[in-house]
A = this chain, B = another copy of it.
């Protein structure tokens, strides 16, 4: 009962979010649409920020699941196909849910600090991407191009942590490239979504494909 109502609230909030964006989200409007009064919402979520937190967690899980499904649909030994599929899944999800994407990867909502509960779902997407590269490395398919700089020594502890959690047996250099590639990938999606490509790039799908290919090659996938 209570869980159902909480779900119904987040559903309505998600609809409002999709239409108006995070900052335009009005708790009162949501309550109106549900035939309630605004104060009733507070029985379920103690504040607007907690509602946002729930949406953020849902968002990370949604994009994570989309990426996982895209990955699962590929033959596991075709790492390049998995790389493409997951990369495009991220972009497709972002284009389909721009405001939710902005909530996850855009400027943080002011006065809002992400609670601990969000970090686990947040990693979900990255874990898949790292898994692809990890698998490619373990099957000996990975061939990172030379001529690129190695990471600093100060990166070693971070690399150790990442390696331990998602990329077993990968050298620091590949992990560093993967971090760079990951941030670059999302950066390109954000650029497109946030309008930085307006009046500059017309065929954005093609450019993203080019970027995805390049980043894949950079971390060691075949061209």
Contacts and interface: CB of A to CB of B under 8 A. Distances in A.
18 contacts: A21-B107, A106-B107, A106-B194, A119-B198, A122-B196, A148-B217, A149-B214, A154-B203, A155-B207, A158-B201, A180-B207, A183-B184, A183-B187, A183-B188, A183-B190, A186-B191, A187-B190, A187-B191
A75 interface: no
A213 interface: yes
A196 B179 CA distance: 11
Interface of A: 20-24, 99, 102-103, 105-111, 114, 119, 122, 145, 147-152, 154-155, 157-158, 161-162, 176-177, 179-180, 183-188, 190-191, 194-203, 206-207, 209-211, 213-215, 217-218, 223
Tell me how many chains of this kind the complex includes. Answer: 2
Contacts of A223: 147-149
Given A151-B206, A180-B214, A210-B176, A22 B110 contact: yes
Nearest to A149: B213
Contacts of A158: 200-203
